Amino acid sequence: MKRRQFIQSVPVAIGGMSVTAYANSPLLSALTAALYETDRVLVIVQLNGGNDGLNTVFPLDQYATLAKHRANLLMPESDILVLGGTNGTTGIHPAMNKFKELYDEQKLSVIQSVGYPSFNFSHFRATDIWMTASDSKEFLNSGWAGRYLNYEFPNYPVGFPNTTMPDPLAIRIGGNVPLGLQNIGVNMAISINNTNDPLNLTGSIYKDPASADYKGKELLYLREVQRQTDKFGDAVAAGATKGKNLSTLYPTGSAPGASLANALKIVAKLISGGLKTRIYWVSTGGFDTHSNQVVGSDRKTGNHANLLKGVADSIHAFMDDAKLLGLEDRIAGMTFSEFGRRIISNGSVGTDHGAGQPMFLFGKKVVPGVIGKNPTIDPNATANSNIPMQYDFRSIYASILKDWFCVPQEDLQSVLLKNFQALPLFDPSGCIPTSVHDENNKAGENLLYAYPNPFQESTTIKFETKGDHTLVQIFNNQGVLMQTLYDGDLAPGKYDLPCDLGQAPAGIYYARIQNGKLQQVKAIHKVR
């Protein structure tokens, strides 16, 4: 029996009395509302370009070796900020002094040498790998965060927004929705640039009548998507009006990190405005530092120093805002970049594409300190040498899902598609109440499910159509179409279709229905 099923079977009591004794009472209403206020938020900060981890977090116990490999780049050891609890062996770039403050306040975790086997050094491909949680030679069409949101809200987008989830599941600020927030066939997020006109909608597609052919049906679908987006835009605008910022520490104007700070400022305002949005995604670029990474006369300054300062100052201000707004317990964040840089610097006072890198987790509920050992710096490193991987990045994701979003251990594989061991990175206490999970799972309109699920050889896809053209498909976890179970017109009603995957390997597959304006995807699990 799953944890949430067990809890559902246990009578709930308040002060020794059954909850039914409080039916329709103000107390019960207040307690029920309070459940949703405990919803946790994840803020993802993407560092585009590939951050130089060895000029961010320094293995001071191997400083002499690093100086040999980075003679034109490495700052004096005396300039590096030593991190407490490391016996003087690990330091951080002085431009990140605000991260040092968070570290000293026990609100920052440094995870050493994060990567994956068989590293890819293409910006585009490496970014896709991090976003999808795939192996280096595996191509997925869904993001790890998108799959989590689908796990939590399996009926989305049909029937959304609703009373259970009136707000966007995820919000990308300042760019297109990334692959990391998409599920197969379903975009799990919206993108905004500001809170005054969050979605910049014109309503132009409403003007012309829809024809009766397939083009008209597609137009009706687009109109429905826009109507849904309009509603989410209204929710975002309302949250922004209600929300506020209290911190005065955000970088502004031409200061490093001002753009990132503005995005995080919006995040803080929306959270304080009551949005139930689970994931916010922001990004900042410029980390592809092949040349002029430092200023020769003062190696603690330069382009890379400004980039690091912008990240640290912006996140520090955001955390200050969260504290002043009383939101610290609900917020955690992570940074990631598509790859690190090589051990040896190049002749242009820069660094080339590399492998492993440090990651940062921030928040009141993270396990503070340095996780893992300093990367080993090979004294005989060549121009192509990289630091060895210590932690698989998907273990970080597993930790976030398990101990922050409270996904049961037995369900982690359905999100990450493989079994990745979680690390002790968060305080697991105070998880989202099981009742909230259950409400989220029921939210919206359920058009599609499978029985049995999990299954060994075959299952039955049960679905409901509103009539006319109906498409039912099965995809594997790489987004490849495995079967088309039905493609044609149907009368309104409920139907069953056999689905035989006996020849397919065990793993997670996806059933998808498209019925005019309605689309829905559900995970199905084939076991051995």
Which tens digit of pLDDT belongs to each residue from 340-390?
999 999 999 999 999 999 999 999 999 999 999 999 999 999 999 999 999
201-215 pLDDT, tens per residue? 434 444 566 676 766
The phi and psi torsions of 108 (rounded to 5 degrees) equal: -140, 135
Distance CA 500, CA 407 (A): 29
Judge whether 246 and 258 are in contact, CB under 8 Å: no
User: In the structure, what pLDDT confidence band is assigned to residue 494 with cuts at 50, 70 and 90?
Assistant: very high
Q: What is the CATH number of domain 446-526?
A: 2.60.40.1930
Q: What separation in angstroms does the CA of 427 have from each of 358, 367, 430?
A: 21, 6, 8
Q: What is the mean pLDDT of residues 398-427?
A: 93
Least confident range of 18-27, 57-66, 398-407, 449-458 = 18-27
Residue 379: left if φ>0, alpha if ψ -120 to 50, beta else—which one? alpha
Task: For 123, list phi and psi in degrees, rounded to 5.
Answer: -55, -50
For residues 151-179, average pLDDT: 94
Range of lowest pLDDT (51-65, 174-188, 255-269): 174-188
Cβ(60)–Cβ(89) below 8 Å = yes
pLDDT at 56 over 70: yes
Identify the DSSP state of 524: E
Q: Is there a contact between 58 and 392 (Cβ–Cβ < 8 Å)?
A: no
Distance CA 244, CA 240 (A): 7
Q: What are phi and psi of 473, to 5 degrees?
A: -135, 160
CA angle 76, 82, 84 (to 5 degrees): 170
pLDDT at 456 over 90: yes
Domain boundaries, the chain: 3-32, 39-76+123-372+394-441, 446-526
Task: Name the pairing type of β-strands 369-371 and 108-115.
Answer: parallel
Q: Any residues with CB less than 8 A from the CB of 324 and at least 6 apart, and which?
A: 246, 247
Question: Are the C-beta atoms of 106 and 96 separated by less than 8 Å?
Answer: no
DSSP assignment string, 357-392: EEEEEEETTB--EEESPPPP--TT--TT--PPP-EE
Looking at the chain, the whole-number percentage of residues with pLDDT higher than 90 is: 76
Model confidence at 519: pLDDT above 70: yes
pTM: 0.88
Confidence of residue 196 (pLDDT cuts 50, 70, 90): low
CA atoms of 230 and 86, how far apart (whole Å) = 51
Question: Mean pLDDT throughout 81-87?
Answer: 97
Closest CA to 279 of 141, 489, 131: 131
Q: What angle is formed at CA 331 by the lines to CA 329 and CA 335, rounded to 5 degrees? A: 140
What distance in Å separates the CA atoms of residue 83 and residue 87, rounded to the nearest whole number?
8
Tokens standing for 4?
């949430």
CATH class of 39-76+123-372+394-441: alpha beta
Higher pLDDT, 11 or 53: 53
- Across 101-122, average pLDDT: 97
Length of the chain: 528
- Does pLDDT of 181 surpass 80? yes
More confident residue, 27 or 522: 522
